[in-house]
A and B are shown apart, each in its own frame.
Chain A
Amino acid sequence: MDAFIHQVLAGLATGGIYASLALALVMIYQATHLVNFAQGEMAMFATYIAWALINIGIPQLGIPPLPYWQAFFVTVVSAFVLGVLIERVVIRPVENAPVLAVVVVFIALLVILNSVTGWMFTYTIKTFPSPFPSEIGFGRFMSPHEVGAIGVTMVVLVLLYLFFRFTPLGLAMRAAAQNPESSRLVGIRVGWMLALGWGLAAAIGGIAGMMVAPIVYLDPNMMGGVLLYAFAAALVGGIDSPGGAVFGGFLVGVLENVLGAFVIGNELKLAVALVLIIGVLTVRPSGIFGKVHVTRV
């Protein structure tokens, strides 16, 4: 029983990370109606920025290695700026291009970020520190990092909820994603709202990357598996439902852990995500909380 509880709780910890990344996918999906395949690599690149800040600093600017939380903060801001830049420079020109063109751009971004990271930092696997002190663990049930990761995820999710629900800017971003034409008519600068959405998604991804790196270790391919779980999470919850994505994230985390530990073994864990993706797409394409789209023919 203890082992089972442990697996469920550990599942919630990684589930929170999947939930964040799934949320980032949903945010971009709502604005573009496309799944950003480069989301994982953007998160990975941000995590490398954090690693460099913690271990090397920025020697060119004479900045010494930073303490963890300072590096965390600088990373989140850099990821945000990077996300905005990617939208403005790379995505904007293909805004009205056919779906496949945009998908190819996403895949190109994925490959470019992956290779650039490998070239800058080598493909050698690195360890990534956890900032959480050992006192906050629950002994046999949860490690300090798992407790801390859940905490950070929760803070991020609550802040996002408050932002989108209660601030005029959050409202404008939701409006711009739903109905760009009406948004322009009330004076919302829709292009900037989309760029802001990319920035936020990249920042959330960066946090997810920093939370998952102590578990999966840091290497340019670290987010491959994580992104698959996040896809599965977003699809299970409903690709157009932020709440659904969060729920899906936790569900996938727990399922992955419990099935991996007791049913199918660790080697087949990733298959859980793929089975979920195929299962949802065949049985209930709109997910648990997603809207069913009806088209007149």
Chain B
Amino acid sequence: MAFLEAKSLHASYGQTRVLHGISFAMEEGTITALLGANGAGKTTTLRALCGMVKTEGEIRFGGERLDGRATEDIVRRGIAHVPDGRGTFVNLTTEENLRLGAYTRKDRAAVEADLQRIYGYFPRLKERRTQQAGTLSGGEQQMLAVSRALMLRPKLMLLDEPSFGLAPLIVRELFSILRTVNEREHVSMLVVEQNAAMALDLSDHAYLIETGRVVLSGTADDIKKNDAVRRSYLGY
């Protein structure tokens, strides 16, 4: 039984169909990438997993159906979504943003420990803990979004374009932290990326999506070697 499995997902915004029967699966503890160009339906796929867009089809997480459930209930099953646009609570402080990530948790002492652990990963956030989150730089807000998701102690993290708008050096730092979190804490990750090269370096498996369908799937290494992918997405 797959850890996360989507079967023929369809989704539309109003009259416009965006997903035309996407199917994929991922194993526990792995990092899986969804690759594709603008408008391929990557963000919508993540939104569908979180119940943020109406879908047809089947989504199973640990064998349990997720489709049709409210976002708040999906989060309570241990799925943390780092959304497109970062989703910062701009008028709250950095630390309040982080505490909100742990909103559903009852183990207060562990939440405090996690807060310190995350400040260890991202010292910049500690420096800015009492600052209004809206005043953080784009890179810092992306780190905040990832950290807020980690505060849930998720089983699965959905990351929507974590590299978007970040300087290459910061992307590398962020991705290495994601790798550490995956290895040390066994958090599974589903990453949506336009930056295919970075995503393939990070991930174990990958799916290539074009206009709302999966057109290719395999291990990250196989996908890297695929000629069509190399020409269209890796650019060499």
Whether B72 and A179, one on each chain, are in contact in the complex, defined by CB atoms closer than 8 angstroms, is no
When the two chains form their complex, are residues B75 and A186 in contact, meaning their CB atoms are under 8 A apart? Answer: yes
A23 CA to B186 CA, complexed, in Å = 46
Q: Determine the chain A residues whose CB is within 8 A of the CB of B72 once the complex forms.
A: 184, 187-190
Residue from the set A168, A175, A184 with the largest chain B CB neighbour count within 10 Å: A184
In the bound complex, CA of A127 to CA of B72 (Å): 48
| A30 and chain B: residue at smallest CB distance | B91
Tally A residues with Cβ within 8 Å of B.
Answer: 17
Most chain B CB atoms below 10 A, which of A183, A184, A187: A187
Q: Is the CB of B103 within 8 A of A187?
A: yes
Check B89 against A179 for contact (C-beta < 8 Å). yes
**How many residues on chain B are close to A (CB under 8 Å)?**
24
Smallest CB separation, A187 vs chain B (Å):
4
Max chain B C-beta neighbours (<10 A), residue from A168, A172, A186, A190: A186
Known A181-B83, A187-B72; contact A172-B90, beta-carbon cutoff 8 A: no
Number of A-B contacts (CB under 8 A): 60
Residues in B125-172 with C-beta less than 8 Å from chain A: 148, 152
Contact of A187 with B75 at beta-carbon distance under 8 Å, contacts A178-B89, A179-B87 already known: yes
Report A244-292 residues with CB < 8 Å from chain B CB.
none
Given contacts A168-B99, A187-B75, contact A178 B90 (CB under 8 A): yes
Q: Point out which of B83, B87, B96 has the most chain A C-beta atoms below 10 A from its C-beta.
A: B87
User: Using Cβ atoms and an 8 Å threshold, which residues of chain A touch B65?
Assistant: none
Tell me which residues across on chain A come within 8 A of B50, comparing CB atoms. Answer: 185
Contact digits for A155-173, partner B, Cβ 8 Å, 1 yes 0 no: 0000000000000100110
A171's partner among B52, B75, B81, B99 (CB-CB below 8 A) is: B99
Nearest CB to that of A185 among chain B residues?
Answer: B81
A182 and B91 CA atoms in complex are apart in Å by 13
Chain B minimum-CB-distance residue to A240: B91
User: Nearest Cβ distance between residue A67 and chain B, in whole angstroms?
Assistant: 39
Task: Answer whether residue B2 sits at the interface, using C-beta atoms and an 8 A cutoff.
Answer: no
Q: How far is the CB of B80 from chain A (nearest CB, A)?
A: 8
Point out the residues of chain A lying under 8 angstroms from B81, CB to CB: 185
Collect the chain B residues with CB atoms within 8 Å of residue A168's CB. Answer: 99, 103
21 cross-chain CB contacts under 8 A: A168-B99, A168-B103, A171-B99, A172-B100, A174-B92, A175-B100, A178-B89, A181-B87, A182-B87, A184-B52, A184-B70, A184-B71, A185-B87, A186-B75, A186-B100, A186-B101, A187-B72, A187-B75, A187-B103, A188-B100, A189-B72
